[in-house]
Copies of this chain bind each other. A is one copy, B any other.
Amino acid sequence: MALIVQKYGGTSVGTPERILNVARRVIATKDAGNQVVVVVSAMSGATDSLIKLAKEISPNPSERELDVLLSTGEQTTIALTAMAMNSLGCKAVSMTGAQAGIVTDGFHTKAKIANIEPRQIHSHLDDGNVVIVAGFQGETSEGHITTLGRGGSDLTAIAIASAIEADLCQIFTDVDGVYTCDPRIVPTARKIDEICYDEMLEMASSGSKVMQSRSVEFAKKYGVLFEVRSSFNQNPGTLVQEETKDMEHVVVRGLSVEKNQAKVTITNVPDRPGTAARIFTTLATTGVIIDMIVQNVSTAGTTDISFTLNKDELPKVEASLASVIIEIGAAALIATQGVAKLSVVGIGMRSHSGVAAKLFEALSNAGINIQMISTSEIKTAVILDESKITEAANVVHAAFGLDKS
């Protein structure tokens, strides 16, 4: 008998009929001899409707009260899911985040899980119940309702799996798992059977938004084995786990593509201590997420500093840096839109040379110009013209043999 946590997202529980389907899946897992804890999101659209209601009251609703409001979305789903289980003859009990012992800090609308007290979950499991827990929510140690922000239900599932020492955590979603590349871009992309946390993190932070990075980071930190799979079919998904020796034999695990990027270059930055810090502390105050940062060696006492970001954030960045450029004595800020990022990810590249060379050669053979390069231990990323990104992804995917099983 295994102890399994299953998480179903908003699309999987979007209608009463789909909730009944989820219930049947859970019962099949239980009937196979397992104990099951189910984590559910709000029905798709429910959270948006609640936010709309709040905005009719106030353009800037109190965050404490927004959490009280939004948490009703998942509470509705747990009740309906438990009813569905019961109506199909299976013992099940719903639990809100607070009831399930999920204790968070007090940062409303983006709280972090501080601790889980799984005593009540265990007690209901011991009574033979499937336990249905509301994702995305918890309460502070003072008893205020909180929500965990984007990707919060995945995080709830991973954190509960850790707290109850589950054998496996299954994240059910609307895709079959993690792919070698987005199949809408590379039609020959294949589903990856297993991937280690660090690779998953690099894929997630590079645009393959199967899961939010924070959930993967949490799983890595506490060693939670999890599987990403589809709630609409029975195909096995992608297993995400600690890295094993075997994994290194695959040099490149997958590619990820991020569109809608912009590139900013600040030219002729005087090469003295503090200028880069001045630029990036200013950017930090804007809350804009900066991705790649590249600075090359200095010539004639100045250097160029480039970075990339989501192109929607460009106006904010240009406004905030205008005075900084004058202050530090740089020449100009050159912003380029219409670029995209292609990342090659794999823990095997740590011990195999030639990945960058093969990447550059594949792009060169296709006549695609590289505008920026950035590397980490298990990732090599390039910035390209956005109009070339589909062609680039396909030639690189083929060059690394990712289309062959």
Residues of A within 8 A of B (CB): 16, 19-20, 50, 53-54, 56-58, 60-62, 64-66, 68-69, 71-72, 75-76, 78-80, 82-84, 86-87, 93-94, 96, 99, 120, 143, 145
Instruction: Give min CB distance, A158 to chain B, whole Å.
Output: 24
Assuming A16-B56, A53-B80, A143-B99, is B61 touching A87 (CB within 8 A)?
yes
Chain B contacts of A94 at CB under 8 A?
Answer: 64-65, 68
Q: How far is the CA of A275 from the CA of B224 in the complex (A)?
A: 70
B53 contacts A65, CB within 8 Å?
A: no
**Nearest chain B CB to A91 CB, angstrom units:** 10
A87 touches B57 (CB 8 A): yes
B54 and A66 within 8 A (CB): no
Residue contact B75 to A54, C-beta cutoff 8 Å: no
Q: How many chain copies? A: 2
By a CB distance below 8 angstroms, the chain B residues around A82 are: 62, 64-65, 68
List 20 A-B residue pairs with CB atoms under 8 Å apart, sorted by A's residue number.
Answer: A16-B56, A16-B57, A54-B79, A57-B83, A58-B87, A61-B87, A64-B82, A64-B94, A65-B83, A65-B94, A68-B75, A68-B78, A68-B79, A68-B96, A69-B76, A69-B79, A69-B80, A69-B83, A71-B75, A96-B145
Nearest CB on B from A86, distance (A): 4
Q: How far is the CB of A116 from chain B (nearest CB, A)?
A: 16
Q: Whole-angstrom distance from the CB of A396 to the nearest CB of chain B?
A: 48
Which residues of chain B are near A120, meaning CB under 8 Å?
A: 143
A60 to B87, CA, bound (A): 8
Q: Tell me the smallest distance from the CB of A126 to a CB of chain B, in Å.
A: 15
Contacts of A20 in B (CB 8 A): 57
Partner of A72, one of B16, B53, B65, B76: B76
Could you tell me if B68 and A54 are in contact, using CB atoms closer than 8 angstroms?
no
Contact of A76 among B50, B64, B79, B84 (CB under 8 A): B50
Residue of B nearest to A16 (CB): B56
Cβ–Cβ < 8 Å partners of A19 in chain B? 57
In angstroms, Cα B55 to Cα A16, docked, is 9
What's the minimum C-beta distance from A55 to chain B, rounded to whole angstroms? 9
A143 cross-chain contacts in B, Cβ below 8 A: 99, 120
Beta-carbon nearest neighbor of A72 in chain B: B72
- A104–chain B nearest beta-carbon distance, Å: 15
Chain B residues lying within 8 Å of A99, measured Cβ to Cβ, are 143
Interface centre among A54, A66, A72 (most CB of B within 10 A): A72
With a cutoff of 8 Å between Cβ atoms, the chain B residues found around residue A57 in the complex are 16, 19-20, 80, 83-84, 87
Q: A83–B94 Cα gap in the complex (Å)?
A: 28
Give the docked Cα–Cα distance between A135 and B225 (Å).
43
Chain B residues contacting A16 (CB-CB under 8 Å) are: 53, 56-57
Residues on B with C-beta less than 8 A from A54 are 79-80, 83
Is B80's CB under 8 angstroms from A64's CB?
Answer: no
The 9 closest A-B pairs by CB, nearest first: A58-B87, A69-B79, A16-B56, A72-B72, A68-B79, A61-B83, A62-B86, A65-B79, A65-B82
A178–B72 Cα distance when bound, in Å, is: 35
Contact among B56, B75, B80 for A75, CB-based, below 8 A: B75
Assembled-state Cα–Cα distance A61/B16 (Å): 13
* Residues of chain B with a CB closer than 8 A to A145's CB: 96
Q: Which of A79, A99, A143 has the most CB of B within 10 A?
A: A79
CA distance A99 to B139 in the complex (A): 11
